[in-house]
Amino acid sequence: MELDLIGDQELLRDTATRFMDASCPLDVVRQLNTTDTGLPANYMQDAAELGWFSLLVPAEDGGGSVSGDGLRDAAILAEERGRRLQPGPFVPMNVVASALATRGSADQKAKVLPAIMNGEALATVAAADGAGAWPPGAGLSASSAGDRFILSGCAGLAQDAALADWFLVAARSPAGQRQFLVPSSTPGVSLARRGAHDITQRFASVDFEGVELDADAVVGHPGGTADDLERQLQLALVLSVAETVGAIEALFDMTRRYAIDRIAFGRPIGSFQAVKHQLADMSLSVEAGISISAAATRAVQAGQDDAGEIASMAKAWVGDTGIDIAQGCFQVFGGIGYTWEHDLHLFLRRITMNSLLYGQPDWHRERICELHGL
Amino acid sequence: MMDQAATGSSPSDRSNPGAVPDLDGYRRQVRAWLAGHCERRNGPPEPHEIDYYTPEVMATNRALQRVLFEGGYAGITWPKEYGGQGLPAEYEIAFLDEASDYVLPDFGVLTGTTFHVCVPTMIAHGQPEFLEEFVPRVLAGEALVCQFFSEPSSGSDLAGARTRATKDGDQWVINGQKIWSTYAHLSDWGFCLARSNWDVPKHRGLTWFAVPSKSPGLTIRPIRQINETSEFCEDYFDDVVVPDRNRIGDVDHGWTVTQTMLVSERGAGRPLGSSEGVRPGPIAPDLVQLARRSGALGDAVVRQKLARAHTIDFVGRALAARIAELGRLGRLDAGVAAYGKLFLGTYNPIRARLGVEIGGAQAMSWEPSDEQGADASMAYLNSRIMSIAGGTNEMQRNGIGERALGLPREPSFDTNKPFTEVLRDARDWTGTS
């Protein structure tokens, strides 16, 4: 959590947490994998009313942030969502909204963007390759046919693809990378549901088989798409890291309380140095994660020239240490953590999934070297 | 950490005492004074080698400290009656901000032990007749203070000190041995913890003293370290006599003084920088040079290690910035402050090991002209300093566990019985009482 929230940010956070606690507490989250949509009824629309999908959109396009720093506001929400393992495409919706606000055509901004901001339309990012790996757009290719485009390939790990009305896709083309906003109902688009490690979120692979697109599906300009994708990746990284940090904080605090409450050998187990020192080390990682997450949020918000690198460092660090923390918490809970009824596995699943999403730590480390010209 | 904080400023005009200028006016005053009296730095300060500090280097910096003192910019927040300027912390922060491009006094570790740890604690607990004479000399650069804390048989267990202080009329006689006293051989004074009462539990029989380093009977010997330099000393007290006025805090109540000092040591009360603007800078330049030299820059495994080291460097700074921000917001306690030290204690060895791995044969066997190989080897040997010195990682974990996380303490077997009995029983301890 950022330390110096202004009053309006506190209000945003408090309103959001009340909504989440009322509509989707953890006992609801753990039931979602048996439902059709994986979301409580009206969840996205209600969230939209609270402004969740407008924060990265300028006021002149109908959006607005409470502090003037939309990404910082969104990161506050992401962290609170992470604490509560909230479902739904919060990160992709914000990435798409930002992309359309900055690069969308007049038509996309007039018709699609408002529907995303008010939660009537769901949009998601389909940018990973078929195996779910980055860089964006590696799995799809676009060829032009007159003023139309033909899209082929597979995009993996598209969050809530089954609910999406729109896909923001990235594809390779002879003219370089291109982006398209594709209606999910377009002929040739099909979904393959897959088994899921993380039962608190839904992902699907999206197949594109000779999908024909009009020129009005294009987002951005041919020469600018690489920069657009970089910006979108940075936004996704900041929000995904903030969400993971929230999950880590909540899981660690649960574990800390357990170490105080749980009695063995006549003492709270947290009094044993073997346990206490594990918790101290984990809490160091929690604090470091909070610190690097805040640094990444500020860097990307400010558009610093090293923002991409800082965002990747945040993702690599929190991706690795998050798993260490989740595994360490598992060890402190002992056998009870291996039961379905306990919440630990829900956090373990989310934290591990998020470590993979938007690039694994190793991928980001290689990217850091490349960004330094090595 | 060894910034010049406490040497700061004060509204300099000694001929016009009593008037506290407004902060903007103070800044202007500082700016003008610095331009007339101090030297600008060429670029950011670089860390010095451990053996950089010599009596000659110290003398140069003592002279600079005197310039600050005479200008009214030493001890900005320290009490006026002891030669300080008695101003609020924001004046010190303003001074440091204005002075950030200037060369300020640098006594290495003794800057911190003198100005941040020992003397602020002495001011809080010492006797006025001692402080009136002593503190102005500190501010004038004439009294650098080292720490006579650890002993061969008590390091982390500070309250287990066995150096003996015996009252003799209006003076004390000190006998025993201290160790790990950084730069004691370059110091003028030491802040010494001694046992004044052996028949009470260990925390209740301790007393602190300010001891001149040149006292008859006090022998200070530099210790040769694994890096072949001598930063630490061992100190033999053989009937060292100090007057009672040098006693800091009440007799047998030294642990109260210690509490003040530990908070001060961990950063409370120190002006803290801003957390904004922490930038990563170039990627682990030392390790990139090693990799370039061995032609391994294209190796995927080496590249992972370079990025790991760079990430460790930046996360450490982001964490330090967060701790500084907590301090600025008044939300810092000793438990949270310990994260900064535990981070370095945990990750310095990892980073140094990455260097040795990237360096490979170069870091184990180098051409005489190859500084990178030698540097990697040296960094590796030095990498556990923060894991041990000033409280081991284990002590930081206890502090974090108990203060920041609210976990119960381990039961202890030595806190409630007389210290003489503790010493007598320890060897035969079976874990039951």
DSSP calls for A150-193: EEEEEEEEEETGGG-SEEEEEEB-TTS-EEEEEETTSTTEEEEE
User: Which residues of chain B make contact with A332, given a CB cutoff of 8 A?
Assistant: none
Task: Convert the pLDDT of each residue in A233-252 to its tens digit.
Answer: 999 999 999 999 999 999 99
User: Which residues of chain B make contact with A364, given a CB cutoff of 8 A?
Assistant: 307
**CB distance B407 to A256 below 8 Å:** yes
Q: Tell me which amino acid residue A192 is.
A: A
Mean pLDDT value across residues A281-299: 97
The ipTM (two decimal places) reads 0.95
Task: Convert the pLDDT of each residue in B123-147 to its tens digit.
Answer: 999 999 999 999 999 999 999 999 9
A368–B408 CB contact, under 8 Å: no
Contacts of B107 (CB under 8 A, 6+ apart): B53, B58, B61, B114, B144, B183, B186
B192 forms beta bridges with B148, B209
User: Which phi and psi (to 5°) does residue A191 adopt?
Assistant: -110, 145
Query: Å from A330 to nearest chain B CA?
Result: 18
A287–B346 CB contact, under 8 Å: no
Residue numbers of B annotated as active site:
265
A368–B346 CB contact, under 8 Å: no
Residue B356, SS3 per DSSP = helix
Nearest to B407 among A276, A288, A374 (CB): A276
Q: How would you label A322-358 residue by residue, b for 16+ Cβ within 10 Å and e otherwise? A: bbebbebbbebbeeebeeeeebbbbbbbbbbbbbbbb
Task: Quote the pLDDT of residue B163.
Answer: 98
Question: Positive or negative CA dihedral for A96, A101, A107, A111?
Answer: positive
Pick the residue of A269, A286, A313 with the most B CBs within 10 A to test the interface with B by mutation: A313
B403 versus B16: which is more confidently predicted? B403
**CB distance A212 to A131 below 8 Å:** no
Of how many residues is chain A composed? 374
Mean pLDDT value across residues A326-331: 98
pLDDT classification of A130: cutoffs 50, 70, 90: confident
DSSP secondary structure, A253-315, as one string: HHHHHHHHH-EETTEEGGGSHHHHHHHHHHHHHHHHHHHHHHHHHHHHHHT-TTHHHHHHHHH
pLDDT classification of B48: cutoffs 50, 70, 90: confident
**CB distance B316 to A312 below 8 Å:** no
Q: Single out the residue of B141, B310, B99, B429 nearest to residue A374, CA to CA.
A: B310
Nearest to B339 among A256, A287, A298 (CB): A287
Q: What CA–CA distance (Å, rounded) separates B244 from B132?
A: 15
Comparing A13-17, A118-122, B223-227, the range with the smallest average pLDDT is B223-227
User: Which residues of chain B make contact with A294, given a CB cutoff of 8 A?
Assistant: 318, 322
State whether residue B313 sits within 8 Å of chain A by CB.
no
DSSP secondary structure, B160-201, as one string: G---EEEEETTEEEEEEEEE--TTGGG-SEEEEEEES-SSS-
B396–A280 CB contact, under 8 Å: yes
Q: What CA–CA distance (Å, rounded) separates A287 from B38?
A: 39
B164 forms beta bridges with B175, B195
**What is the number of other CB atoms lying within 10 angstroms of the CB of residue A42?**
12
Q: What CA–CA distance (Å, rounded) separates B196 from B254?
A: 9
Task: Quote the pLDDT of residue B3.
Answer: 36
Task: Quote the pLDDT of residue B50.
Answer: 65
What kind and span of H or E run contains A206? strand A203-213
B431 versus A232: which is more confidently predicted? A232
Strands (E), B218-373: 218-222, 233-243, 247-248
pLDDT classification of B9: cutoffs 50, 70, 90: very low
Per-residue tokens: B294: 């061995």
User: Which residues of chain B make contact with A271, given a CB cutoff of 8 A?
Assistant: 407-411
Q: What CA–CA distance (Å, rounded) separates A334 from A242?
A: 27
Task: Quote the pLDDT of residue B337.
Answer: 76
**CB distance A322 to A289 below 8 Å:** yes
User: Which phi and psi (to 5°) does residue B166 adopt?
Assistant: -120, 125
pLDDT averaged over chain B? 89
A267–B325 CB contact, under 8 Å: no
Comparing A7-16, B200-209, B262-271, the range with the smallest average pLDDT is B262-271
CB pairs under 8 A between A and B: 135
> Residues of chain A whose C-beta is under 8 A from some C-beta in B?
3-4, 256, 259-260, 267-268, 270-273, 276-277, 279-281, 283-284, 287-288, 290-292, 294-295, 298, 304, 306, 309-310, 313, 316-317, 362, 364-366, 368-369, 372, 374
Q: Please report how the helices A307-333 and A344-356 are oriented relative to each other, as an axis angle in degrees rounded to 10.
A: 150
Task: Quote the pLDDT of residue B10.
Answer: 42
B311 versus B324: which is more confidently predicted? B311
pLDDT exceeds cutoff 90 at B389: no
**CB distance A208 to A189 below 8 Å:** yes
**CB distance A219 to A168 below 8 Å:** yes
Per-residue tokens: B270: 């120190």
User: Which residues of chain A make contact with B319, given a CB cutoff of 8 A?
Assistant: 287-288, 291-292
User: Which residues of chain A make contact with B284, given a CB cutoff of 8 A?
Assistant: none
Query: Å from B422 to nearest chain A CA?
Result: 22
Task: Convert the pLDDT of each residue in B59-111 to its tens digit.
Answer: 999 999 999 999 999 999 999 999 999 999 889 989 999 998 999 999 999 99
pLDDT exceeds cutoff 70 at A220: yes
DSSP secondary structure, A97-151, as one string: HHHHHHH--HHHHHHHHHHHHTTSS-EEEE-S-TTSPSSTTTTEEEEEETTEEEE
pLDDT classification of B14: cutoffs 50, 70, 90: very low
A133 versus A176: which is more confidently predicted? A176
Per-residue tokens: B7: 């040497």
pLDDT exceeds cutoff 70 at B272: no
Per-residue tokens: A77: 């929400």
User: Which residues of chain A make contact with B309, given a CB cutoff of 8 A?
Assistant: none
Q: What CA–CA distance (Å, rounded) separates A373 from B2?
A: 34
Cis preceding linkage at A135, omega within 30: yes
Mean pLDDT value across residues A51-56: 97
Strands (E), B23-158: 145-148
Residue of chain B nearest A263, judged by CA positions = B408
State whether residue B279 sits within 8 Å of chain A by CB.
yes
Task: Quote the pLDDT of residue B265.
Answer: 63
Query: Å from B266 to nearest chain A CA?
Result: 16
Q: What CA–CA distance (Å, rounded) separates B343 from A189?
A: 49
Q: Single out the residue of A88, A21, A80, A8 nearest to residue A48, CA to CA.
A: A88
User: Which residues of chain A make contact with B396, given a CB cutoff of 8 A?
Assistant: 280
pLDDT exceeds cutoff 90 at B332: no
**CB distance B98 to B33 below 8 Å:** no
B322–A287 CB contact, under 8 Å: yes
Query: Å from B405 to nearest chain A CA?
Result: 7
Query: Å from B320 to nearest chain A CA?
Result: 9
CA distances from B290 to B20, B226, B293, B304, B306 (A): 54, 23, 5, 14, 10
pLDDT exceeds cutoff 90 at A298: yes
Per-residue tokens: B140: 């004038």
CA-atom Rg of chain A in angstroms:
21
Q: What CA–CA distance (Å, rounded) separates B355 from B372?
A: 10
pLDDT exceeds cutoff 90 at B428: no
Residue of chain B nearest A1, judged by CA positions = B322
CA distances from B354 to B280, B301, B312, B358 (A): 18, 11, 11, 6
Q: How would you label A222-249 residue by residue, b for 16+ Cβ within 10 Å and e otherwise? A: eeebbebbbbbbbbbbbbbbbbbbbbbb
Mean pLDDT value across residues A343-370: 97
Cα-to-chain-centroid distance, residue B367: 36
pLDDT exceeds cutoff 60 at B267: no
A316–B311 CB contact, under 8 Å: yes
Per-residue tokens: B60: 């140069």
